[in-house]
Structures are given as structure tokens and as C-alpha cells.
Structure 1
Amino acid sequence: MARKTKKDAQKTRQQLIEAAIAQFATRGVANTTLTDIADAAQVTRGAVYWHFSSKSEIFNAIWEQQLPLRDIIRDRLSLSENDDPLLMLREQFITALQYIAHEPRQCALLQILYHKCEFTNEVISEYEIRKRIGINFDCLRKTLERCVLNKAISPNVNIDLTLIVFHGFFSGLIKNWLMNRDSFNLYQQAPALVDNILATLHSTRVSPAVCGVAL
């Protein structure tokens, strides 16, 4: 019985987290109450306080359990680190964008981050959230360095500057798409969008290699 009770408690806690994600993404964090979350999870307000002492604690729990996008999409990739690093990078970017476009939960998380949250001292910082769900710059740097070693991109490419450009491109792209998802089809246009940003690397191999990749 004790095991079942513990399992049920964990299930209720997760229900509250999922309900909070939906409510935060729709109402905004500031405008969402614990009662809103309880109602959405179909539990009592007392059940909320059994698991969380405040709305900020729920907010933090959401991000603390969130896996990096790179890890989430890993099983969806056909290429590995033993393959052409530039094509691998292309596939990772496309798969990430298409996952965001296709998965409501991931969309909701990014909606909260970009449009529905004001950060205070009580909640995890925006910087920490972006580290958890955004581009992993250490991994991206290593991939770009492999591209240089494999002569997929010019050794004259400024990797530090490229990381800044990539971050600005993807952050701006997702933020603008979330404001109006009807403005363009992120899922369908992901390959073309990624090809355009990779073209900034001025690689002689980008265009011909990209044309031969099956999605």
C-alpha cells in the first residue's frame, strides 16, 4: 500500500507540473494562480500545497526536470559523430526545430520562456533555463571545430562569432514564430531555414552536400 501511495503522490505531482506548464503558457506566470493550476490538474488546492509551497517552486520544478533538447532529439537522428560533422549539425538543427514545431509541450515551455514570464529572485534564472533547453554551446563549438579539421568549413571561420550568430538566429526565429505560428510553417520550412544559416559559414561543401540529404 505504501508503494502505491508513493506512486500516486508522484503521479499527482507530475499532473500539477503539466497543468502549470499549460496554464503558464496560456495565462502567463504572473496571471496564473495556484487555484488555476489545481483546477487544471483536477485536484484540490490542498493537494497543490502538499507538493509545492508556492507557484515559484512549481515553476522551478518544471525546469529542473527538463531534459536538454539535444538529449530529447538524440534518438530521432540518423547521423552520428562518426559522420560528416556539417551534415550532422544540419540534421540536429532541423530535427530540433521540427520537434519544437510538432510537440505542444516543448512549444509551451518556449512560450513561457520567451513571452509569458517575468524573472524574479525566487525563480530559476533565464540564463539557467536557456542553458537547459537551448543550444549547448560547448557541443556546438566542438562540432564546428571538427568541421574545420575535416575541411568542411574554412579555417578562417570565426567560431566565437559563429556561435553568437547561431544563438541570435535560432532565438529570434523561435520567438517570432511563437508570436504568430501562422506566419510560416516552421516544421516544413526548417530545412530551408537551417540551410540559410549554415550558408553563413561560407563552406564550399554546404550546398552540394545539403542537396543530397534525405529528410
Structure 2
Amino acid sequence: MRRTKEESEQTREAIFDAGLQVFSEKGFTAATMSDIARKAGVTRGAIYWHFKNKEAFFEEIVSQSCSYYDELQEEAVKSDLPMLESLHRAITTMLSRFFSDRRWRMMQEFILRESLTTQASSEELNDLASGRGITLLQEAIEKGQIFSRWSASTAQLSLHALIVGVFLESSYQGTTLSREEIGHIADFIVRGFAPSPSHSARSIHEKA
């Protein structure tokens, strides 16, 4: 009986989830396609039908992450909110998903782990780590909405480091954060981007 498109997509998702679990348990380098097939309960042929190799899994994980962060950036661009409030919303949304969506957390932990421990090459991974949001930050600097003495690249680097730091520490310690704690972290990060001390003293989280 011919499989429907929906059934094929369900199989692909099951294989993808199995791949995430295997990579989490064994690491990307040690994991094999056979390991993933066993975890998913499918044949090797089914694996290769959907993913031609391990690198295809890697690219899919990074691609989904890039798409999500691009959506957050697009929302910020379209928003009528001041830059700091828009940034606060994006950080809160990002952290909330990390701590509430197990699958998403595994994906982000995989990306962080591989970027730190392997020589895996991916243009999308490099873009995800270093280039996203710079144009938006540059516009905010020019409009005086964030600290004007920063360059856009320095602002982006700082923002990336702070958020990744939360991801890494939470992953190492196996902890989660409440909505209130996430709000306080977003407050702390956003204050560092404020254009003046008087602006930074005001809690955007408390306004929400």
C-alpha cells in the first residue's frame, strides 16, 4: 500500500526525533545512521530516504533554528514598539521556548555542543552564531534607541553571548526557569543596551 504524504511526514518527524536523541546520548561524531534507525524503529532504507547522511540531520536542525530566529527578527522589524521593548519581548519568547519545549531545547543544546566540541562546518551555523540581527541593531543605534557608543557587531556579540550563556548554564546544571525568572533575565540583558542610565533604571518587565 502506498504511503500518504502525511504518513511520510510523520515518519520523517519520528526519524528526526530519534536522531536528536541519539546525538544527545552519543554525540554527533560517534552516532551512526544505524543507531538512529534502531532508535526510530525503522529500516536503514527509510532513514536514507529522508536524510542522506548525518550531515543532513545537522543542517536540518540548524535550518529550523535559523528560520525561528529570523521570524523573531522579522516580528521585531514590523513591531511599532520601541527597540528595547521589542528586544525584551524577543528574549522572553526565545528563553520561554527553550525552557518549555523539550524538543527545541535538545536542538539548541545540540547546536551549542557541536559548535564548541567539533569542527563541524556549516555556513548556516556560522550565520546563526555571528550575523543575525546586526542590521536591526545598527538601525536602533542610529535612532538613539540603544547605547550609541556600541557598534552593531559588538551589540550583537554581547546579546548572543548573554543568551547562549543562559542556555549553556541551564543545560550543564539541568535546570529550568519560571516565567518570572525569565522576565528578570530579560530585564537584566536589556538594561545593558539602554541609551542612558535613566532609561536603564526602568524595568520593562514590570511594564508588561
TM range (shorter): 0.7 to 0.9
The residue correspondences of 1:50-65 to structure 2 (distance < 5 A) are 50-65=49-64
Tell me what 2:95 maps to: 97
Which 4+ residue blocks in structure 1 deviate beyond 6 angstroms? none
Residues 5 and 153 (structure 1), Cα distance of their counterparts in 2 relative to 1, 3 Å cut = closer
Question: Out of 132, 135, 158, which is 1:136 matched to?
Answer: 132
Q: In 2, are the aligned partners of 1:27 and 1:116 still within 8 Å (CA)?
A: no
C-alpha distance in structure 2 between counterparts of 1:133 and 1:68, whole Å: 13
Unaligned stretches of 5+ in structure 2?
none
Residues 143 and 24 (structure 1), Cα distance of their counterparts in 2 relative to 1, 3 Å cut = farther
Tell me what 1:198 maps to: 190
Tell me what 1:49 maps to: 48
The residue correspondences of 1:27-176 to structure 2 (distance < 5 A) are 27-71=26-70, 81-115=79-113, 118-120=117-119, 124-125=121-122, 128-129=124-125, 131-132=127-128, 136-142=132-138, 144-145=140-141, 149=143, 151-176=144-169
Q: For residue 103 of structure 1, report the CA deviation from its aligned partner.
A: 0.9
C-alpha distance in structure 1 between counterparts of 2:68 and 2:136, whole Å: 13
**Percent identical:** 20
C-alpha distance in structure 2 between counterparts of 1:112 and 1:132, whole Å: 14
Question: Out of 192, 202, 205, which is 1:208 matched to?
Answer: 202
Q: In 2, are the aligned partners of 1:101 and 1:107 still within 8 Å (CA)?
A: yes
Which deviates more, 44-53 or 16-25?
Answer: 44-53
Q: In 2, are the aligned partners of 1:60 and 1:124 still within 8 Å (CA)?
A: no
Residues 53 and 212 (structure 1), Cα distance of their counterparts in 2 relative to 1, 3 Å cut = closer
Q: In 2, are the aligned partners of 1:63 and 1:129 still within 8 Å (CA)?
A: yes
* TM-score normalised by L of structure 1: 0.75
Residues 161 and 65 (structure 1), Cα distance of their counterparts in 2 relative to 1, 3 Å cut = closer
* TM-score normalised by L of structure 2: 0.77
Q: In 2, are the aligned partners of 1:141 and 1:163 still within 8 Å (CA)?
A: yes
Residues 58 and 141 (structure 1), Cα distance of their counterparts in 2 relative to 1, 3 Å cut = same
Larger relative contact order (Cα-Cα within 8 Å, sequence gap ≥ 6): 1
* Local SS of the residue matching 1:208: coil
Unaligned stretches of 5+ in structure 1?
none
Which deviates more, 60-69 or 189-198?
Answer: 60-69
The AA in structure 2 aligned to 1:175 is L
Which deviates more, 64-73 or 92-101?
Answer: 64-73
Which deviates more, 194-203 or 65-74?
Answer: 65-74
